[in-house]
Amino acid sequence: MDDLYREVILDHYRNPRYRGSLPSPTTSHEGYNPLCGDDVTVELLVKGGIVEEVAFNGSGCSISQSSASMMTEAIRGKTVQEVESLFREFTAMMRGSDDIDFDSIGDLEALEGVRKFPVRVKCATLAWHTLQEALRRLDQGENQAASNERAIR
Partner 1 sequence: MTEAESVTNQGVTGKPSGGLDVARIREDFPILARDVYGKPLVYLDNAATSQKPRQVIEALVRYYESYNANIHRAVHCLGEEATAAYEEARAKVARFINAPSPECIVFTRNTTEAINLVAYTWGRANVGPDSGVLLTLLEHHSNIIPWQRVTAEKGASLRYIGITEQQTLDLDGLEKLMDSRTRLLAVTQVSNALGTINPVQKLTAEAHRNGTMVLVDGAQSVPHMPVDVQAMDCDFFAFSSHKMLGPTGVGVLYARPELLEEMEPFLGGGEMIKRVTQEDAIWNDVPWKFEAGTPNIADAIGLGVAIDYLSDLGMENVRAHEMEISEYALRRLRQMEEVMIYGPPDPADRGGVISFNYPDLHPHDIGTVLDRHGVAVRAGHHCAQPLMHHLDVSGTVRASFYVYNTLGEVDVLVDALGQAHAFFSNDTK
When the beta carbons of 54 and 63 are compared against partner 1, the nearer one is: 63
- What span, in angstroms and rounded, lies between the C-alpha atoms of 134 and 151? 25
Q: How far is the CB of 51 from partner 1 (least distance, A)?
A: 28
> Given the rule CB under 8 A, which residues bind partner 1?
1, 4-5, 7, 10, 13-14, 35-38, 59-63, 117, 120, 123
CB atoms within 10 A of CB 53: 18
Query: CB of residue 3 vs partner 1: minimum separation in angstroms?
Result: 10
Between 64 and 132, whose beta carbon lies closer to partner 1?
Answer: 64
- The C-alpha atoms of residue 136 and residue 142 are separated, in whole angstroms, by 10
At residue 61, the 3 state secondary structure works out as: coil
Q: How far is the CB of 123 from partner 1 (least distance, A)?
A: 7
Q: Phi, psi at residue 61, to the nearest 5°?
A: -75, 170
φ, ψ of residue 136 in degrees (nearest 5): -60, -40
Q: Which is nearer to partner 1, 5 or 79 (by Cβ)? A: 5
Task: State which residue, 68 or 123, has the beta carbon closest to partner 1.
Answer: 123
CB of 109 to partner 1, least distance (A): 20
Q: How far apart are CA 21 and CA 94, in angstroms?
A: 27
